[in-house]
Amino acid sequence: MIEAFLLAMRQLQTKKVRTLLILLGISVGVAAVVGVTSLGEGIRVNAVEEIEKSHDLTLIEVSPGVSNGNIILITESKVRAVREYGSVVAPYVKDAYVTPNKTYFEVNGISAEYMDAKNLQLEAGMWLEEGTYQIVLGSDIGEKFSKIEGVEIGNAIDARIRLYGEEGRAIDKDITFMIAGRLKPTGTDTDDQAFIDMNIARELTGKDVYDGIMVKLDKSGQAPAVRTAIEKLGLTCYSAQDEIDSVNKIMNAVTLVLAFFSSISLIVGGLMIINTMIVSVYERTHEIGITKAIGASESDIIRLFLSECIIIGVLGGILGDLLGVIFSILIDTVGRPMLIAQLGIADFEHLTVINIQILAAGFLISLVISVIAGIYPAWRGAKLDPVKALRQL
């Protein structure tokens, strides 16, 4: 078999220009696929990194579940069950309050564990004291209060909560909170939330269940197992992994479509190989006649031609990968500053990502297309009538 390749190599060397042109044809196609795929992969990696940066992958947010139309509430016993799985388990309640100036804001009734689980950090003021009507504001809501309500840390803020009595009648309750501190901006929905002591919150609303649980894990690797376990309790789970999964799903689809369109150039490359090999069979008709007379079988002839195609495929794959890397670097150097300037997105390291899978795929595509393209010409060569072939000069 190695000899078949050496013989094929010889044939290709005698037609250097032609071979070089086919190689370029196939490798440009591979390069297009590699480049486009690297762009898709780059966008995906950047999106995932962005999610990982702004989200905590070791955090699972548990909310009430729904089963057969019934709502599964987070009761004390559920909280106890969940405590088995996380290193920090923080149940909380959530209610909507409104100020006299009609600023609606979300208030979470939390315990100290919640602060650990969400890694909340103060920017100014102090943390709330348990058992008091103190409130800590997220960075955005804090800013809003200072602008609209004119209240700062240390000031009191009036708030009203609407509750519903047994007959469904609305009962409004007025409370005054003391602003204890303000949190650092996080870029998450925490910025729009305010926090009070959980026991105070439950006292105000008379709730005997929780609205959610924050479950903090030691390692993000535990997340899938813990999630499954909590979901078995009938509760709903959410984690940043959900977003990563959906980004992966979307980007895979987008990349596939892009790669499909860029692979049209590969079809052209394949047709080039078919054409060149047919010409080659025609030119070598006489030689094929001789080869048959000295004992070559049809499969020997096919092997000779396919060996040439395999060499073209391998060289085309390598060259295509090289061009693809260059193409990808080009997209990165030209496209990245343009994107940053136009969209004003936060700086990211690379717009394109090349990995071994992309290169392997590019190489394989070249090889497979070359071999498929060679089958028909090789078959035609093998089927030549030796007498006619020998007569042709």
Partner 1 sequence: MWMVETQGLSKYYTFGSGNQVVALNDVNLTVESGEFVSIMGPSGSGKSTLLNIVGCLDKPTSGDVYIDDAKIDYGNAGSLVQLHRQTMGFVFQGFNLISTMNAMENVWYPMYFNKVPKPERKKRAEELLESVGLRDRALHLPSELSGGEQQRVAIARSLANHPRLILADEPTGNIDSRTGKMIIDLMKKLNKEQGITFIVTTHDKAMANNADRVITITDGEIVD
Residues that bind partner 1 (CB under 8 A): 3, 10-11, 14, 286-287, 289-298, 300, 386-387, 390, 393
Rounded to a whole number of angstroms, the minimum distance from the CB of residue 386 to partner 1 is 5
Nearer to partner 1, 258 or 390 (CB): 390
In terms of CB distance, is 109 or 289 closer to partner 1? 289
Please, which residue, 218 or 300, has the CB nearer to partner 1?
A: 300
Written in H, E and C, the secondary structure of the chain is CHHHHHHHHHHHHHCHHHHHHHHHHHHHHHHHHHHHHHHHHHHHHHHHHHHHHHCCCCEEEEECEEECCEEECECHHHHHHHHCCCCEEEEEEEEEEECCCCCEEEEEEECHHHHHHHCCCEEEECCCCCCCCEEEECHHHHHHHHHHHCCCCCCEEEEEEEEECCCCCEEEEEEEEEEEEEECCCCCHHHHEEEEEHHHHHHHHCCCCECEEEEECCCHHHHHHHHHHHHHCCCEEECHHHHHHHHHHHHHHHHHHHHHHHCHHHHHHHHHHHHHHHHHHHHCHHHHHHHHHCCCCHHHHHHHHHHHHHHHHHHHHHHHHHHHHHHHHHHHHHHHHHHHHHHCCCCCCCCCCCCHHHHHHHHHHHHHHHHHHHHHHHHHHHCCCHHHHHHCC
Phi-psi region of 234 (alpha: psi -120 to 50; beta: other; left: phi over 0): left
Are 372 and 309 contacting, i.e. CB atoms less than 8 angstroms apart? no
Complex with partner 1: residue 10 or 80, whichever CB lies closer: 10
**Which CB, 290 or 360, lies closer to partner 1?**
290
State in angstroms the smallest separation of the CB of 274 from partner 1: 22
C-beta closer to partner 1: residue 279 or 293: 293
Q: Tokens 């009761």 sit at which residue?
A: 75
Q: Which two tokens stand for residue 73?
A: 């509430």
The Cα–Cα gap between 187 and 79 comes to: 28
In the bound state with partner 1, the residue whose beta carbon lies nearer, of 8 and 141, is: 8
Separation CA 350–CA 38 (nearest Å): 10
At closest approach, how far in Å is the CB of 390 from partner 1?
7
Minimum separation from the CB atom of position 301 to partner 1 (A): 10
Give the pair of three-digit tokens for residue 154.
Answer: 């240390």
The least distance separating partner 1 from the CB of residue 373, rounded to whole angstroms, comes to 22
**Of the two residues 162 and 383, which places its CB atom closer to partner 1 in the complex?**
383
Q: Which is nearer to partner 1, 4 or 163 (CB)?
A: 4
Kindly state the smallest distance separating residue 382's Cβ from partner 1, in Å: 10
Instruction: Report the nearest approach of partner 1 to the CB of residue 254 (Å).
Output: 48
As measured in angstroms, the least distance from the Cβ of 279 to partner 1 is 16
Place of tokens 């548990």: 62
In the complex with partner 1, the residue whose CB is nearer, 238 or 379, is 379
Minimum distance, C-beta of residue 17 to partner 1, in the bound complex (Å): 16
Minimum separation from the CB atom of position 285 to partner 1 (A): 12
CB of 7 to partner 1, least distance (A): 8
Residues 6+ apart with CB under 8 A from 325: 34, 354, 359
Q: Which two tokens stand for residue 28?
A: 């440009």
Q: Closer to partner 1 at the Cβ: 8 or 28? A: 8
